[in-house]
Amino acid sequence: MFQTLAETIPDKGVLGVLKNLIVTDSSLPKEDKETALKMLEIEIEEMDSVTRRWEADLMSDSWLSKNVRPISLVFLTLVYATGFFMEYDLNIINQLMLLVYGAYFGSRGLEKIRKL
């Protein structure tokens, strides 16, 4: 089972590095390696489904589905700027902005890399 899980995960990129760290770590018991590889496989499936959903949004004719990510960026930036000048606590907004900016620019980078 361990070998089967290891074969389903790619050897390239960040996920490949994580896979190789898990497989070659001699201090981890076999059960923990299987669990870690299964969790990594689930993470890969989740990222692929999000990417497919975003690609489907871009292919649709709806203006809103194509522009929801940029609108979210603009909205959170305005909320942050307003809160900054009004001296509000911005911890939650900082976390949301980090998540949204990371997803937007990370996905844009992946889309460009896949086109190459």
- Are 88 and 71 contained in the same domain? yes
- Are 54 and 67 contained in the same domain? no
10-35 pLDDT tens trace: 565 556 666 666 777 777 777 777 77
- Are 82 and 53 contained in the same domain? no
Sequence-ordered list of residues with C-beta below 8 angstroms from that of 101, at least 6 positions apart, any chain: 73
* Separation of first and last alpha carbons in the chain: 34
Sign of the dihedral through C-alpha 26, 30, 32, 35: positive
Q: Is the pTM of this model over 0.85?
A: no
69-109 pLDDT tens trace: 889 889 989 989 999 999 888 888 888 888 888 887 777 66
Q: Using CA atoms, how far apart are residues 87 and 49, in angstroms rounded to an integer?
A: 39
The alpha carbon of 51 is separated from its chain's Cα centroid by a whole number of angstroms, namely: 9
Which domain range does residue 68 map to? 62-116
- Are 45 and 93 contained in the same domain? no
**In a 3-state reduction of DSSP, which class is residue 100?**
helix
